[in-house]
Structure 1
Amino acid sequence: MPLFYLLSLQHVTLPKVVTRSEDVQHVSVLKATGLIEAEIAPASDAAGKYNAARTATVMRITEDGFAEINKMLNEPRRMSRTVQLVRNRMRSSALS
């Protein structure tokens, strides 16, 4: 989920190069919604045929991105579950 990916970005050094296709998709969504600034590799080949982007570089989390993080972490019912999911995802991505 892109918002969990956004939460994980606050704990890494930026800029961050992303190569996993799932993460590139998350970056694309977060960039489109204005929650991060990122550069995404072109998604078309030399013939103009569409291909999924293979890499992206997250430059920074925007003010709106930090506001969304604070909103997620300050909702009492969701806070513990959200933090738990982010930690689990960070652990699993560190293992891969």
Structure 2
Amino acid sequence: MPMELLSRLCKATMPCYVSDEDDIEKLSVLSAAQLVEADIPPMLEDAGLRWFSGVAVVHRVSGDGFSAVNGRTKRPLAFAGPGMERLPWG
């Protein structure tokens, strides 16, 4: 679950390197939700198989990331793309 990974990242020394494919996928979700700042390697595909081209690097957990782990979020978290405002739930 992405929140379990986020909890581990809150306790980790940065930068943190992530090589496990499942954790990189979870990390991409956390990054899209702006809970962490991370460099995610590109995904490669060949003959129907998909994998990440390298390791991910987590630079920091955001304030919202720490709040989410501690259960103190003041507003619902929503996905937003680069340069976009957070989207309200509802």
Answer whether TM exceeds 0.5 for this pair.
Answer: yes
User: What stretches of structure 1 of length at least 5 have no aligned partner?
Assistant: 73-96
Summarize deviations over 1:29-86 as a string: whole Å, max 9, x none. Answer: 10011100000112247xxxx94324211110001101101107xxxxxxxxxxxxxx
Q: Which residue of 1 aligns with 2:64?
A: 64
Q: Which residue of 2 aligns with 1:52?
A: 51
TM-score calculated relative to the size of structure 1: 0.63
Cα shift at 1:20: 0.7
CA RMSD of aligned residues (A): 2.2
Distance in 2 separating the partners of 1:52 and 1:34: 23
TM-score calculated relative to the size of structure 2: 0.67
As a proportion of its length, which structure holds more strand?
Answer: 2
Q: Which residue of 1 aligns with 2:30?
A: 30
- Specify the code of the residue in structure 2 equivalent to 1:6: L
How many corresponding residue pairs? 70
Distance in 2 separating the partners of 1:11 and 1:65: 12
Q: Which residue of 2 aligns with 1:39?
A: 39
3-state SS of 2:43 partner: coil
1:76-91 equivalent positions in 2, closer than 5 A: none
Summarize deviations over 1:1-34 as a string: whole Å, max 9, x none. Answer: 0001100111111111111111111111100111
> Which consecutive segments of 4 or more residues in structure 1 shift more than 6 A?
none
3-state SS of 2:34 partner: coil
Distance in 2 separating the partners of 1:41 and 1:55: 6
